[in-house]
Copies of this chain bind each other. A is one copy, B any other.
């Protein structure tokens, strides 16, 4: 098991210097076509493997871009990936990603590691509870030169590029839709206040209902993790109340899936006996029984835009950080319907 071949080995075989080989392999115009061919040939023969550490050390950049996600258990987040991968691949950049599982420590480790590794930039869907202090942009941080774009979840008080969904608008559409169907007792099933999405959506939910004159009941606000399991038990809890809601708005589709599933056991027909709305409109939303009413978040556009913004920063764009909002749209399917006559107030 011999040592892995280097430029020098190739150079010796061909009878030139390592410089020539380096230039040849990288298609430098200074090298003649014949030489290039010979070098290529020999490189193949000896099984040459480019050494990124050596190159990275010399050049200072590794040509990679990092993505940090925090909840792979929610397929919604994986939907962002496709659009981004495409963009970076076009730029011959590799995207390396990390699943931090909502752990600030893991997230910080990853960011540090990527800085050490000379990553060109970072797209971050921040872990719940992330503050400005935790970001590369923070003065105290050693990472301040790492270009950064926040995706999907916003963070207050930092000057960074970000691409987020207009959650307030999306939630307004949901509430208006339900009100127009005659619902008045509308409950909330969703996350706490650890992410901007959870905060913004719930805030909008409360504001809209209050403004319409039907402020949400304290018992109608049910907090819990963003999982199907929570959606399931949450709906059961809501419906066990003496005066159950006629409609339930879920923070996310994942929760709504659980809620819709719970109806089966309770003998309720979603869209008839109870209205349920989700948020995100992930792929699976069209495949619940019956299909879920939700708010389409344009993960494709958001991912693409985040990539572009990051690439611009990497190229050295010096403009002030931008905060871009994507407009969502309401997708009415079958889990929402008119309030049944016997439920009407």
Instruction: List A residues at the B interface (Cβ < 8 Å).
Output: 1, 4, 47-54, 56-57, 62, 72-73, 75, 78, 81-82, 85, 89, 94-99, 101, 106, 109-110, 112-113, 115-118, 142-143, 145, 228, 232, 257-258, 260-261, 263-264, 283-284, 286-291
Q: Are the CB atoms of B96 and A284 closer together than 8 Å?
A: no
In the complex, which residues of chain B have a beta carbon less than 8 angstroms from the beta carbon of A49? 112, 115-116, 142-143
Tally of this chain's copies: 2
Q: Can you report 8 A-B residue pairs in the complex whose CB atoms are below 8 A from each other?
A: A53-B56, A57-B57, A73-B82, A73-B283, A85-B101, A261-B286, A261-B291, A263-B289
In the complex, which residues of chain B have a beta carbon less than 8 angstroms from the beta carbon of A89? 106
Other-chain residue from B48, B106, B110, B264 in contact with A142 (beta carbon distance below 8 A): B48
Q: Are the CB atoms of B81 and A72 closer together than 8 Å?
A: yes
Q: Are the CB atoms of B142 and A52 closer together than 8 Å?
A: no
Q: Given the complex of chains A and B, what is the CA–CA distance between A97 and B113 in angstroms?
A: 14
Q: Are the CB atoms of B50 and A116 closer together than 8 Å?
A: yes
- Given A56-B53, A97-B96, A145-B4, A228 and B264 touching (CB < 8 A)? no
Of all chain B residues, which has the CB nearest A231?
A: B287
Other-chain residue from B52, B73, B264 in contact with A290 (beta carbon distance below 8 A): B264
Q: Given the complex of chains A and B, what is the CA–CA distance between A138 and B153 in angstroms?
A: 44
Closest CB in chain B relative to A169 CB, distance in Å: 27
Closest CB in chain B relative to A66 CB, distance in Å: 9
Q: Are the CB atoms of B287 and A52 closer together than 8 Å?
A: no
In the complex, which residues of chain B have a beta carbon less than 8 angstroms from the beta carbon of A284? 228, 257, 284
In the complex, which residues of chain B have a beta carbon less than 8 angstroms from the beta carbon of A82? 72-73, 99, 101
In the complex, which residues of chain B have a beta carbon less than 8 angstroms from the beta carbon of A232? 287
Q: Are the CB atoms of A52 and B118 closer together than 8 Å?
A: yes
Closest CB in chain B relative to A170 CB, distance in Å: 23
In the complex, which residues of chain B have a beta carbon less than 8 angstroms from the beta carbon of A96? 96-98
